[in-house]
Structure formats: structure tokens, C-alpha cells
Amino acid sequence: MTKEILRKILGRAALVYEELVTVLCDCERVINSRPLTYVSEDVDDVSPLTPEMFLREIPESGVADIDTVDKEKLSRHGTGLEQKKLKFINPVSCQT
């Protein structure tokens, strides 16, 4: 799929490194926004599942009261999320 997108965009053009990185980021955005599930024509249906939904953090509904938030617990939770994200993004480097 990436090869097809690059051929459509570039043809036989030669790019410098920065231009290639920009084009690859655009390809990544296109691929990650494609639906993984059935796309219904009914506007009242839920939006289709995409890879992008797994890559970004989805905020929970509602906001906790500032007086009840434990800073230490929140910090540990944030650190855990970062570790999980790094493990997902680059699983080879986390196998040490």
C-alpha cells in the first residue's frame, strides 16, 4: 500500500531527505486514517474503527475533581502509559 501511494505521489521524482520524510508522514496519515471496519452509509451509525484510534490517547469522559487527584498516582499512571506507548511503537528496543 505504501509503495502504491509513493508511486502516485512521486512518480519518478527524486527527493531530498526532508521532502521524503514529509511525504512518508503524509503516507502514514493516509494509511492510519483508513477504516478497519465496515463503513455504513447511515449517518447515525458510529464512526468506523481506524488504526489512528489505537495510536492516539482517547480522553475519558468527565474530569476528576482537583482535590481528589493524587499527584503521585497520576505520575505513575502517566509513566506507565508512556512505557506502554514506547513498547507498542518499538517492541524490539524494549526486549532488553
Tens digit of each residue's pLDDT (9 = 90 or more) over 47-82: 788 888 888 765 554 555 666 666 777 777 777 777
3 within domain boundaries: yes
> Does 86 lie in the same domain as 43?
yes
pLDDT tens-digit series, residues 22-43: 888 888 888 888 888 877 777 6
Cell numbers for 10: 512521486
> Does 76 lie in the same domain as 43?
yes
C-alpha–C-alpha distance, residues 84 and 95, integer Å: 13
CB 83 within 8 A of CB 66: no
95 within domain boundaries: no
> Does 54 lie in the same domain as 79?
yes
Q: What is the pTM of this model?
A: 0.46
Residue-range definition of the domain harbouring residue 28? 1-33
67 within domain boundaries: yes
96 within domain boundaries: no
The pLDDT of residue 62 is: 54
